[in-house]
Structure 1
């Protein structure tokens, strides 16, 4: 059979197989594909493959108290302290608060009042002790000729809080929040350098005295950072418990006597 006949015979056989539905061509002998795969030369591993996958970054524990202590120690005046506190990003309260509440009153005042934390009105105004509690505080101070708007250091007061940002829903500050911001408060007191400290409520007592129980502690002078310190009821507590105003008045008279001595 010549080449022309072979061609037409092969073509006829192929067309017959297509008509039968054959779609794959196979060889006369089976092929072991596994053996072929094993015989392939393996690629050389890259240096990155030898090193293995990169390690997964692990979250690092941050000592927020140490960070706050380092930030507070590096400031030389009150404006620098305010800037350092505003730049401190480890306190989650900062993310939910509207305002940074630093202080009110005269920094050179003989009396420095430390409250707890901003409430809703303080968060809106950006100043401590506003709203009903602030108005009551102003009346209390006015009764012994003191005030936040006085320009005479002997008659003025300087006011701040343990926390500069409002806790959600006005909840009480938590222990870790108090500990985190305490280095800033201690530096605040050192820079303001008042003659007398007033701790209003349980939170400043917890921060600076390490204990709570304002009903037992109020009216008893203690030493805080070398300053004579008087724990007193918070004005918000007096609004809820008017009967306690008698003890608050006694504390105010005691404060007035201390300033005159």
Structure 2
């Protein structure tokens, strides 16, 4: 993934990314910041909460604070991503104004006209929005999204597939969103309103894994992501991924990947150093 980030101001970030051969998030995730993702090219399958959308070029996905979401796809794609916190808006606007700005998030998928997408790219490239007045840019974007929300409501339904999830998919989505805190199958059964035996059958049928194996697979993918993107200790990573015992984390990692976490991180450092060396030689 080629990720070009522009840090606009504290708690407000706009970035452009272009990815070849597609990419799928290994797990659902959530964060306290609000997120807007405008798909400039390609196609993505995006799950927001319990609803899955087929999102095409020209549409924006809006993720409210702390809502579980995941993006998948195997085609080339590019997009603009905006992150901001409610605290950032609270710093500059009255509570009633902030509430008005956030109303666009009640519609998770909004069509964005082509001329406005070009305008967003121009804003992202401009250097002037690194000043403290950046809050005005964010406010304008949120106002415009609310306008598009009303103007293109009918057209959006022609291009977005809103797939209501089956009980089986709800179970999988629930595990995908909560695997870091799940302790037993009874938790899943209680929250999804089904029996434990039904959950075991569904997971086995859809993944060819037991419930425990599926949860551990998600946790290990999460651990790989953490090691690729941070320098956190293995104790911190294993706990963040839902492992209560670091020894068990080491055991599963070695069993699934043929390397210990330490060996994996060493190989990762070597790959990065080799890439940097090749880049210097090309200069």
TM norm structure 2: 0.19
Q: Which has the higher strand share?
A: 2
